[in-house]
Structure 1
Amino acid sequence: MDLRIGPWQIDIISGGEFMHDGGVLYGIVPKTIWEKFQPADSLNRVHLAMHCVLARSDEHVMLIDTGHGDKLSPLDRKSHGLMPGWPLRDALASRGLSPTDVTAVILSHLHWDHCGGATSRDGKDVVPTFPNATYYVNQREWEDATSGDVNVSGGYVEEDIQPLAKSGQLALVNHLDEIAPGIQVLHTGGHTRGHQAVLIKSAKRGLVFMGDIAPTTAHIRRMWCTSYDLDLPQTRKAKDELFAYAADNGHWIVWNHDRQTPISQVNRHPKRDYVIGSRDC
């Protein structure tokens, strides 16, 4: 893929792949319907990606999400069906980059498959993977993740996030905050109360990183949401608003868990709200 948006060179890179329960991914949608789009294995699991965005300009090297990282135990790696090694680090190395080159990391939310790579092991310690980066997290997301309230904090892993605060590299952001020229966070809520999408703007065609508001192209359908979503009506509202914005402006959508279609446009449709548009960057 060769995609440039304003001053930014954009690459979709792998933060890993994993196996996930299909019923969790597709929520209320019956298996007899969703398995036509993505067949499950004998354990009812479907094969998913963890796409991250690498955005480079003359002054910045930025990541959106970080995949699973290197901290999971062998048992957890087997349970999640993770591929060997640390794909995000390899993807950076293949482009001549090391973790020290990254200047900013935007996290859509703090679930392990999106922020596990934000920290890594250094001997017995867990430290930020990117020592020269500022990590941007939605303020509500951070408050929920560190609240100790099991109703909202049960999906977070302490060692994925606490080292960010201890190192002084954490920056809490809110709706419409600009991280760098042309890059803005959009507080969506829905999947988690502090979930945020990321917009890379341009005078012509931009890009929207949806996070888990729409993890795969199958989730272009209004009612298809994950069973993890804390606020289903808000997920559907945010999804419709972001799709409308992308369709009306010709923006790209990143489908962060879709192995076959990591990026595409979306178009309005008279009968089905939205359909997948061009996949050719």
Structure 2
Amino acid sequence: MKLGRFSVHYLNGGITNIDGGAMFGVVPRALWIRKYEVNNKNQIPLPTHPILVQTDDKNVIIDTGIGFGKLTDKERRNFGAEYESHINEDLEALDMTTKDIDYVLMTHMHFDHAAGLTDNEGHAIFENAIHIIQQDEWHEFQSPNLRSKSTYWKKNNGDFQQKLLLFDREMEVLPGIKIMHTGGHSFGHSIITIESEGEKAIHMGDIFPTIAHRNPLWVTAYDDYPMQSIREKERLIPNYILDDYWFLYYHDVNYFAVKFDKQSMTDIETFISRN
């Protein structure tokens, strides 16, 4: 899609199939199955689609997918990873390689967002890029607790640390591209806004992972701080809708970009499908 002078693409970072109950938390199954497809194992498809933003002279990737060859057989089975990353092929179709990426912005460091940062030897996939991560998120990634160690994997660490910038509350990475701390899904979870020539988009990461999670109360069981997720969604989503933002999705199986109707605040007004 075009966003002012910027081009925005979704890349194929691989797919997971995750238990629907975990992804919708305390929401009854009878409600969420009306909003999102589910298989006979009660799993919902959660593709990972790193977002490529091309400005006039820089290339930015938001999150990195599940990588290629990073998951064990057990992990592929447990997380329903039917296929892994095709980022190289998608970049090649745009006459690019991973060496052409200037910035990597991480909403958070859970495995399904961070496995594509490195290869199995710990070398940076995006070797020329500056990597930007919220400071608290980075430290928990380095020293996960009893709960978070299941998703902050040591094997996703590596020499990208040599080109690492940390921020606290917010950072304007490039003119028109800003990353901001929200917390909620993880303590250091962040969101990204993109603006060019008056056109605007927001990627809210995993506090708003699919359009089925539009209701502020619909948060995942994976959220470490669910009340913070609810607080951020309750305030931010209506404001972004009224300010005519596109909502960009990393995980939604059907939609890449959505605008919601300003009158109803819930109905989809325009959208860009993944199909």
Per the TM superposition, whether the score is higher than 0.5 is yes
The offset of 1:46, in angstroms, is 1.0
Q: Which position in structure 1 is the counterpart of 2:190?
A: 196
Please give the residue correspondences for 1:1-281 in structure 2 after superposition, counting only pairs within 5 Å: 2-5=1-4, 7-70=5-68, 71-121=70-120, 125-165=121-161, 168-268=162-262, 274-280=266-272
The offset of 1:85, in angstroms, is 4.6
Contact 2:15–2:84 at 8 Å: present in 1 too? no
Q: Which amino acid aligns with 1:21?
A: D
Query: Which string of whole-angstrom CA distances, capped at 9 and with x for unpartnered residues, describes residues 179-212 of structure 1?
Result: 1111001111000010000011234221101110
- Count of aligned pairs between the two proteins: 272
Q: 1:243, 1:93 → 2: CA distance?
A: 35
Q: 1:152, 1:278 → 2: CA distance?
A: 37
Contact 1:246–1:266 at 8 Å: present in 2 too? no
Query: Which string of whole-angstrom CA distances, capped at 9 and with x for unpartnered residues, describes residues 207-240 of structure 1?
Result: 1011101111010012111001111111011112
Q: 1:106, 1:180 → 2: CA distance?
A: 11
TM-score of the two chains, using structure 2 as the length reference: 0.92
Contact 1:210–1:256 at 8 Å: present in 2 too? no
The 3-state SS of whatever aligns with 1:117 is helix
The offset of 1:13, in angstroms, is 2.1
Contact 1:243–1:266 at 8 Å: present in 2 too? no
Q: 1:151, 1:268 → 2: CA distance?
A: 39
Q: 1:39, 1:85 → 2: CA distance?
A: 21
The offset of 1:44, in angstroms, is 1.6
Q: Which amino acid aligns with 2:195?
A: K
Q: 2:227, 2:251 → 1: CA distance?
A: 21
Contact 2:183–2:225 at 8 Å: present in 1 too? yes
The offset of 1:153, in angstroms, is 4.3
Q: Which amino acid aligns with 2:177?
A: I
TM-score of the two chains, using structure 1 as the length reference: 0.90
Q: Residues 85, 219 of structure 1: CA spacing in aligned structure 2 closer, same or farther, 3 A cutoff?
A: closer
Query: Which string of whole-angstrom CA distances, capped at 9 and with x for unpartnered residues, describes residues 75-107 of structure 1?
Result: 322332224352222211211111111111001
* Between 231-240 and 186-195, the greater mean CA deviation after superposition: 231-240
Contact 1:205–1:249 at 8 Å: present in 2 too? no
Q: 1:22, 1:195 → 2: CA distance?
A: 22
- Unpaired runs of 5+ residues, structure 2, are none
Q: 1:148, 1:15 → 2: CA distance?
A: 24
What is the percentage of aligned positions where both structures have the same residue? 27
Q: Which amino acid aligns with 2:160?
A: L
Contact 2:13–2:66 at 8 Å: present in 1 too? yes
Contact 1:146–1:153 at 8 Å: present in 2 too? no
Q: Residues 227, 263 of structure 1: CA spacing in aligned structure 2 closer, same or farther, 3 A cutoff?
A: same
Q: Which amino acid aligns with 1:111?
A: H
Q: Which amino acid aligns with 1:76?
A: E
Q: Residues 245, 153 of structure 1: CA spacing in aligned structure 2 closer, same or farther, 3 A cutoff?
A: farther
Q: Note the aligned Cα RMSD (angstroms).
A: 1.9
Q: 1:14, 1:259 → 2: CA distance?
A: 11
Q: Which amino acid aligns with 1:145?
A: F
* Between 215-224 and 66-75, the greater mean CA deviation after superposition: 66-75
Query: Which string of whole-angstrom CA distances, capped at 9 and with x for unpartnered residues, describes residues 121-172 of structure 1?
Result: 3xxx22110110011100010112212432444420112134332xx11111
Q: 1:17, 1:136 → 2: CA distance?
A: 24
